Amino acid sequence: MIPEEILIVNDGSLLLKMMGGLLENKGYQLSLTDSPEEALVMLSSRNIVLVVMKLNGRQAGRLAVMHLVKELNSGTRLIVLGDQAQLPAEVFEIGADDYVILPCRIAEVWRRLTLCLERPACQPELTQEDGDLHPVNQRVLQNLGLMFHDMRGLLTSINEGMRLLDRRINGACDHEMEMIFQKTYQKTRTLLDVSDEFLQKFGNGTERQAPGDRVDLREDVIDPVVQEFGEELEESCITLEDRTSKLPPVEHNIKGDRAALKSVFRNLLLNAITHGGSGSTICIDVDEDPGYFRLQVQNSGMPPSSNRQQDLCTGKRAYRANGQGTGLGLHLGREVMRSQGGDVSYEVCQRGSNFVMTLPRA
Protein backbone atom coordinates (compact mmCIF):
# COMPACT_ATOMS: atom_id res chain seq x y z
CA MET A 1 0.00 0.00 0.00
CA ILE A 2 1.26 3.49 -0.82
CA PRO A 3 1.99 5.61 2.28
CA GLU A 4 -0.27 8.65 2.46
CA GLU A 5 1.46 11.90 1.54
CA ILE A 6 1.51 14.71 4.07
CA LEU A 7 2.57 18.30 3.38
CA ILE A 8 4.00 20.42 6.20
CA VAL A 9 4.29 24.14 5.46
CA ASN A 10 6.74 25.20 8.15
CA ASP A 11 8.54 28.40 9.10
CA GLY A 12 11.72 26.80 10.38
CA SER A 13 9.97 25.52 13.51
CA LEU A 14 11.78 22.66 15.26
CA LEU A 15 8.42 21.42 16.55
CA LEU A 16 7.10 20.63 13.05
CA LYS A 17 10.44 19.20 11.94
CA MET A 18 10.16 16.80 14.85
CA MET A 19 6.55 15.96 13.95
CA GLY A 20 7.68 15.33 10.37
CA GLY A 21 10.33 12.87 11.54
CA LEU A 22 7.77 11.00 13.66
CA LEU A 23 5.33 10.79 10.72
CA GLU A 24 8.06 9.43 8.44
CA ASN A 25 8.91 6.79 11.04
CA LYS A 26 5.23 5.77 10.95
CA GLY A 27 5.56 5.12 7.21
CA TYR A 28 3.95 8.28 5.83
CA GLN A 29 5.29 9.99 2.70
CA LEU A 30 6.29 13.48 3.86
CA SER A 31 7.03 16.76 2.08
CA LEU A 32 8.29 19.65 4.22
CA THR A 33 8.79 23.18 2.92
CA ASP A 34 9.03 26.73 4.23
CA SER A 35 7.85 28.15 0.88
CA PRO A 36 4.11 28.77 0.21
CA GLU A 37 4.84 28.85 -3.54
CA GLU A 38 6.44 25.41 -3.39
CA ALA A 39 3.49 24.18 -1.32
CA LEU A 40 1.05 25.29 -4.05
CA VAL A 41 2.97 23.31 -6.67
CA MET A 42 2.90 20.18 -4.49
CA LEU A 43 -0.82 20.57 -3.77
CA SER A 44 -1.69 20.79 -7.46
CA SER A 45 0.49 17.88 -8.58
CA ARG A 46 0.49 15.32 -5.75
CA ASN A 47 -1.97 13.21 -3.80
CA ILE A 48 -1.81 15.20 -0.54
CA VAL A 49 -4.12 13.89 2.19
CA LEU A 50 -3.10 16.26 5.01
CA VAL A 51 -1.68 19.79 5.09
CA VAL A 52 -0.14 21.08 8.32
CA MET A 53 0.24 24.87 8.17
CA LYS A 54 2.31 26.99 10.59
CA LEU A 55 0.97 30.54 10.61
CA ASN A 56 2.35 33.67 12.29
CA GLY A 57 0.17 36.69 11.70
CA ARG A 58 -1.55 37.59 8.43
CA GLN A 59 0.88 36.01 5.93
CA ALA A 60 -0.77 36.42 2.52
CA GLY A 61 1.09 33.55 0.81
CA ARG A 62 0.19 31.04 3.52
CA LEU A 63 -3.43 32.21 3.63
CA ALA A 64 -3.65 31.68 -0.14
CA VAL A 65 -2.42 28.10 0.29
CA MET A 66 -5.01 27.48 3.00
CA HIS A 67 -7.84 28.79 0.81
CA LEU A 68 -6.76 26.52 -2.05
CA VAL A 69 -6.41 23.30 -0.03
CA LYS A 70 -10.11 22.44 -0.13
CA GLU A 71 -10.62 23.92 -3.60
CA LEU A 72 -8.00 21.67 -5.17
CA ASN A 73 -9.11 18.55 -3.27
CA SER A 74 -12.10 18.59 -0.95
CA GLY A 75 -10.84 15.39 0.71
CA THR A 76 -7.55 16.93 1.85
CA ARG A 77 -7.46 17.63 5.58
CA LEU A 78 -6.00 20.87 6.98
CA ILE A 79 -4.49 21.60 10.41
CA VAL A 80 -3.42 25.15 11.33
CA LEU A 81 -0.89 25.88 14.08
CA GLY A 82 -0.20 29.32 15.48
CA ASP A 83 -0.15 31.67 18.44
CA GLN A 84 -3.73 32.77 19.20
CA ALA A 85 -2.71 36.41 19.43
CA GLN A 86 -1.18 36.25 15.93
CA LEU A 87 -3.91 34.31 14.10
CA PRO A 88 -6.12 36.59 11.94
CA ALA A 89 -9.89 36.15 12.27
CA GLU A 90 -10.27 35.00 8.65
CA VAL A 91 -8.29 31.84 9.46
CA PHE A 92 -11.28 30.52 11.37
CA GLU A 93 -13.58 31.12 8.38
CA ILE A 94 -11.55 28.79 6.16
CA GLY A 95 -12.94 25.69 7.83
CA ALA A 96 -9.79 23.82 8.77
CA ASP A 97 -10.17 20.34 10.25
CA ASP A 98 -8.35 21.42 13.41
CA TYR A 99 -6.66 24.46 14.96
CA VAL A 100 -3.74 23.97 17.36
CA ILE A 101 -3.11 27.02 19.51
CA LEU A 102 0.56 27.45 20.52
CA PRO A 103 2.32 27.08 22.86
CA CYS A 104 1.17 23.49 23.19
CA ARG A 105 2.66 20.28 24.54
CA ILE A 106 4.39 18.10 21.92
CA ALA A 107 2.30 15.10 22.95
CA GLU A 108 -0.91 17.07 22.32
CA VAL A 109 0.22 18.21 18.86
CA TRP A 110 1.05 14.59 17.99
CA ARG A 111 -2.32 13.40 19.31
CA ARG A 112 -4.20 15.95 17.17
CA LEU A 113 -2.19 15.04 14.04
CA THR A 114 -2.80 11.30 14.39
CA LEU A 115 -6.48 11.87 15.23
CA CYS A 116 -6.92 13.91 12.06
CA LEU A 117 -5.24 11.22 9.96
CA GLU A 118 -7.43 8.49 11.42
CA ARG A 119 -10.61 10.46 10.75
CA PRO A 120 -12.18 9.48 7.37
CA ALA A 121 -11.78 12.20 4.78
CA CYS A 122 -15.01 13.77 3.53
CA GLN A 123 -15.44 12.90 -0.15
CA PRO A 124 -18.64 14.55 -1.37
CA GLU A 125 -20.11 13.36 -4.65
CA LEU A 126 -18.94 15.61 -7.46
CA THR A 127 -21.51 17.64 -9.31
CA GLN A 128 -20.76 19.30 -12.64
CA GLU A 129 -20.16 22.60 -10.85
CA ASP A 130 -17.96 21.01 -8.15
CA GLY A 131 -15.97 19.16 -10.82
CA ASP A 132 -14.88 22.36 -12.57
CA LEU A 133 -11.15 22.95 -12.52
CA HIS A 134 -9.56 25.70 -10.49
CA PRO A 135 -8.92 28.73 -12.78
CA VAL A 136 -5.13 28.27 -12.56
CA ASN A 137 -5.37 24.62 -13.62
CA GLN A 138 -7.94 25.53 -16.28
CA ARG A 139 -5.47 27.96 -17.91
CA VAL A 140 -2.72 25.33 -17.84
CA LEU A 141 -5.10 22.80 -19.39
CA GLN A 142 -6.14 25.23 -22.14
CA ASN A 143 -2.50 25.97 -23.03
CA LEU A 144 -1.71 22.25 -23.15
CA GLY A 145 -4.79 21.70 -25.30
CA LEU A 146 -3.61 24.35 -27.75
CA MET A 147 -0.15 22.76 -27.87
CA PHE A 148 -1.56 19.29 -28.56
CA HIS A 149 -3.88 20.75 -31.21
CA ASP A 150 -0.93 22.34 -33.04
CA MET A 151 1.15 19.16 -32.68
CA ARG A 152 -1.68 17.09 -34.09
CA GLY A 153 -1.96 19.37 -37.13
CA LEU A 154 1.75 19.00 -37.88
CA LEU A 155 1.69 15.24 -37.30
CA THR A 156 -1.31 14.84 -39.60
CA SER A 157 0.58 16.67 -42.38
CA ILE A 158 3.70 14.54 -41.83
CA ASN A 159 1.63 11.37 -41.79
CA GLU A 160 -0.11 12.26 -45.07
CA GLY A 161 3.22 13.08 -46.72
CA MET A 162 4.71 9.77 -45.63
CA ARG A 163 1.62 7.90 -46.83
CA LEU A 164 2.11 9.37 -50.31
CA LEU A 165 5.82 8.52 -50.21
CA ASP A 166 4.92 4.98 -49.19
CA ARG A 167 2.95 4.54 -52.41
CA ARG A 168 5.79 5.83 -54.58
CA ILE A 169 8.79 4.07 -53.04
CA ASN A 170 7.18 0.63 -53.02
CA GLY A 171 9.90 -1.50 -54.61
CA ALA A 172 11.84 1.57 -55.78
CA CYS A 173 14.58 1.33 -53.14
CA ASP A 174 16.53 -1.41 -51.41
CA HIS A 175 15.00 -3.55 -48.67
CA GLU A 176 16.93 -1.93 -45.81
CA MET A 177 15.86 1.58 -46.81
CA GLU A 178 12.24 0.48 -47.15
CA MET A 179 12.30 -1.12 -43.68
CA ILE A 180 13.65 2.12 -42.14
CA PHE A 181 10.91 4.10 -43.87
CA GLN A 182 8.16 1.69 -42.74
CA LYS A 183 9.41 1.83 -39.16
CA THR A 184 9.42 5.64 -39.19
CA TYR A 185 5.98 5.69 -40.78
CA GLN A 186 4.62 3.38 -38.08
CA LYS A 187 6.07 5.56 -35.31
CA THR A 188 4.48 8.64 -36.87
CA ARG A 189 1.08 6.94 -36.87
CA THR A 190 1.56 5.85 -33.26
CA LEU A 191 2.50 9.39 -32.23
CA LEU A 192 -0.60 10.71 -34.01
CA ASP A 193 -2.76 8.21 -32.09
CA VAL A 194 -1.15 9.26 -28.80
CA SER A 195 -1.76 12.96 -29.50
CA ASP A 196 -5.40 12.19 -30.40
CA GLU A 197 -5.83 10.34 -27.13
CA PHE A 198 -4.51 13.23 -25.06
CA LEU A 199 -6.38 15.81 -27.15
CA GLN A 200 -9.68 14.22 -26.11
CA LYS A 201 -9.05 15.57 -22.60
CA PHE A 202 -9.34 19.14 -23.77
CA GLY A 203 -12.63 18.93 -25.61
CA ASN A 204 -16.19 18.81 -24.38
CA GLY A 205 -17.20 15.89 -26.58
CA THR A 206 -18.63 12.57 -25.51
CA GLU A 207 -15.29 10.82 -26.01
CA ARG A 208 -13.73 12.59 -23.07
CA GLN A 209 -13.15 10.20 -20.17
CA ALA A 210 -15.27 11.13 -17.16
CA PRO A 211 -13.59 11.34 -13.73
CA GLY A 212 -13.92 8.01 -11.95
CA ASP A 213 -14.35 5.98 -15.17
CA ARG A 214 -13.00 2.48 -14.78
CA VAL A 215 -9.98 1.43 -16.79
CA ASP A 216 -9.22 -2.23 -17.48
CA LEU A 217 -5.53 -2.74 -16.72
CA ARG A 218 -4.99 -5.42 -19.34
CA GLU A 219 -7.28 -4.33 -22.20
CA ASP A 220 -6.87 -0.55 -21.92
CA VAL A 221 -3.24 -0.21 -20.78
CA ILE A 222 -1.00 -3.27 -21.18
CA ASP A 223 -2.16 -4.78 -24.50
CA PRO A 224 -2.24 -1.61 -26.67
CA VAL A 225 1.16 -0.39 -25.43
CA VAL A 226 2.85 -3.79 -25.90
CA GLN A 227 1.52 -3.91 -29.47
CA GLU A 228 3.14 -0.53 -30.21
CA PHE A 229 6.59 -2.00 -29.49
CA GLY A 230 6.16 -5.34 -31.32
CA GLU A 231 8.55 -4.58 -34.20
CA GLU A 232 11.10 -2.87 -31.95
CA LEU A 233 11.24 -5.88 -29.62
CA GLU A 234 11.71 -8.25 -32.57
CA GLU A 235 14.45 -6.18 -34.19
CA SER A 236 16.36 -5.90 -30.90
CA CYS A 237 16.06 -9.68 -30.32
CA ILE A 238 14.44 -8.94 -26.95
CA THR A 239 12.37 -11.69 -25.36
CA LEU A 240 9.13 -10.42 -23.84
CA GLU A 241 7.63 -12.53 -21.06
CA ASP A 242 4.10 -11.18 -20.64
CA ARG A 243 2.90 -13.01 -17.54
CA THR A 244 -0.22 -10.86 -17.40
CA SER A 245 -1.63 -12.93 -20.28
CA LYS A 246 -1.89 -15.85 -17.83
CA LEU A 247 -3.91 -13.91 -15.27
CA PRO A 248 -7.26 -15.44 -14.26
CA PRO A 249 -10.13 -14.15 -16.43
CA VAL A 250 -11.34 -11.63 -13.85
CA GLU A 251 -11.68 -7.88 -14.07
CA HIS A 252 -8.63 -5.81 -13.23
CA ASN A 253 -10.34 -2.43 -13.05
CA ILE A 254 -8.20 0.49 -11.93
CA LYS A 255 -8.78 4.18 -11.26
CA GLY A 256 -7.09 6.90 -13.28
CA ASP A 257 -6.84 8.63 -16.62
CA ARG A 258 -6.54 6.08 -19.43
CA ALA A 259 -4.20 8.15 -21.62
CA ALA A 260 -1.93 9.08 -18.70
CA LEU A 261 -1.73 5.48 -17.46
CA LYS A 262 -0.74 4.28 -20.94
CA SER A 263 1.85 7.05 -21.19
CA VAL A 264 3.51 6.08 -17.89
CA PHE A 265 3.53 2.37 -18.79
CA ARG A 266 4.85 3.23 -22.27
CA ASN A 267 7.78 5.09 -20.69
CA LEU A 268 8.60 2.16 -18.38
CA LEU A 269 8.53 -0.31 -21.27
CA LEU A 270 10.66 1.98 -23.47
CA ASN A 271 13.21 2.32 -20.64
CA ALA A 272 13.32 -1.48 -20.33
CA ILE A 273 13.97 -1.84 -24.07
CA THR A 274 16.61 0.92 -24.13
CA HIS A 275 18.53 -0.10 -21.02
CA GLY A 276 17.96 -3.83 -21.31
CA GLY A 277 19.71 -3.87 -24.67
CA SER A 278 19.81 -6.36 -27.51
CA GLY A 279 19.22 -9.97 -26.51
CA SER A 280 17.83 -9.11 -23.08
CA THR A 281 14.61 -10.33 -21.49
CA ILE A 282 11.75 -8.12 -20.34
CA CYS A 283 9.16 -9.50 -17.95
CA ILE A 284 5.76 -7.86 -17.38
CA ASP A 285 3.82 -9.08 -14.36
CA VAL A 286 1.01 -8.01 -12.05
CA ASP A 287 0.59 -8.77 -8.38
CA GLU A 288 -2.00 -7.50 -5.94
CA ASP A 289 -2.03 -5.59 -2.67
CA PRO A 290 -5.19 -4.69 -0.73
CA GLY A 291 -6.69 -1.83 -2.73
CA TYR A 292 -3.95 -1.81 -5.38
CA PHE A 293 -2.46 -3.60 -8.37
CA ARG A 294 1.32 -3.57 -8.89
CA LEU A 295 2.32 -3.63 -12.55
CA GLN A 296 6.00 -4.66 -12.78
CA VAL A 297 8.32 -4.09 -15.74
CA GLN A 298 11.61 -5.92 -15.22
CA ASN A 299 14.57 -6.06 -17.62
CA SER A 300 17.66 -8.25 -17.44
CA GLY A 301 20.10 -5.51 -18.47
CA MET A 302 22.75 -3.85 -16.35
CA PRO A 303 21.08 -2.19 -13.32
CA PRO A 304 21.84 1.46 -12.50
CA SER A 305 24.76 2.10 -10.16
CA SER A 306 23.95 2.18 -6.45
CA ASN A 307 24.53 5.95 -6.20
CA ARG A 308 22.05 6.54 -9.06
CA GLN A 309 19.31 4.25 -7.72
CA GLN A 310 18.31 6.70 -4.98
CA ASP A 311 17.82 9.46 -7.58
CA LEU A 312 15.70 7.39 -9.97
CA CYS A 313 12.17 8.84 -10.37
CA THR A 314 13.17 12.05 -8.53
CA GLY A 315 14.22 14.11 -11.57
CA LYS A 316 17.45 15.16 -9.83
CA ARG A 317 19.55 13.78 -12.69
CA ALA A 318 17.17 14.42 -15.56
CA TYR A 319 19.83 15.36 -18.09
CA ARG A 320 20.88 13.72 -21.34
CA ALA A 321 24.07 11.72 -21.66
CA ASN A 322 25.28 9.99 -24.84
CA GLY A 323 21.93 10.67 -26.46
CA GLN A 324 19.97 8.81 -23.76
CA GLY A 325 17.51 10.33 -21.32
CA THR A 326 18.29 9.64 -17.68
CA GLY A 327 15.22 10.05 -15.55
CA LEU A 328 12.89 12.91 -16.50
CA GLY A 329 10.23 10.52 -17.86
CA LEU A 330 10.38 8.45 -14.67
CA HIS A 331 10.05 11.57 -12.53
CA LEU A 332 7.06 12.89 -14.51
CA GLY A 333 5.49 9.44 -14.47
CA ARG A 334 5.79 9.25 -10.70
CA GLU A 335 4.23 12.70 -10.26
CA VAL A 336 1.33 11.79 -12.57
CA MET A 337 0.71 8.52 -10.75
CA ARG A 338 0.87 10.14 -7.31
CA SER A 339 -1.67 12.74 -8.41
CA GLN A 340 -4.01 9.83 -9.20
CA GLY A 341 -3.41 7.95 -5.95
CA GLY A 342 -0.71 5.63 -7.35
CA ASP A 343 3.06 5.60 -7.57
CA VAL A 344 6.12 4.64 -9.65
CA SER A 345 9.05 3.07 -7.82
CA TYR A 346 12.32 1.23 -8.40
CA GLU A 347 13.01 -2.09 -6.72
CA VAL A 348 16.35 -3.83 -6.49
CA CYS A 349 16.16 -7.31 -7.97
CA GLN A 350 18.62 -10.19 -8.31
CA ARG A 351 19.17 -9.62 -12.01
CA GLY A 352 18.56 -6.35 -13.84
CA SER A 353 16.07 -3.63 -12.91
CA ASN A 354 12.45 -3.69 -11.82
CA PHE A 355 10.13 -0.67 -12.06
CA VAL A 356 6.70 -0.86 -10.46
CA MET A 357 3.52 1.08 -11.26
CA THR A 358 1.20 0.98 -8.26
CA LEU A 359 -2.39 1.45 -9.42
CA PRO A 360 -5.42 1.98 -7.16
CA ARG A 361 -8.31 -0.44 -7.74
CA ALA A 362 -11.56 1.00 -9.01
Please write the tens of the pLDDT for every residue from 232-275: 888 889 999 998 877 665 667 888 888 888 888 988 998 888 88
Identify the DSSP state of 361: B
Residue 59 forms part of a structural domain: yes
Q: Find the mean pLDDT for residues 106-126.
A: 77
Specify the number of domains making up the chain.
3
d(CA 138, CA 204): 13
Residue 123 forms part of a structural domain: no
Identify the DSSP state of 322: T
Domain boundary among 183, 208, 233: 208
Specify whether 27 is located in the same domain as 139.
no
Specify whether 65 is located in the same domain as 161.
no
Specify whether 190 is located in the same domain as 316.
no
Closest CA to 102 of 84, 79, 78: 84
Specify whether 268 is located in the same domain as 341.
yes
pLDDT of residue 258: 84
Q: Find the mean pLDDT for residues 280-308.
A: 86
Q: Return the CATH number at 335.
A: 3.30.565.10
Query: Model's pTM, two decimal places?
Result: 0.57
Domain boundary among 157, 173, 208: 208
Specify whether 229 is located in the same domain as 341.
yes
Size of the chain, expressed as the number of residues it contains: 362
**Where does residue 313 fall: left (phi above 0), alpha (psi -120 to 50 degrees), or beta otherwise?**
left
Specify whether 200 is located in the same domain as 141.
yes
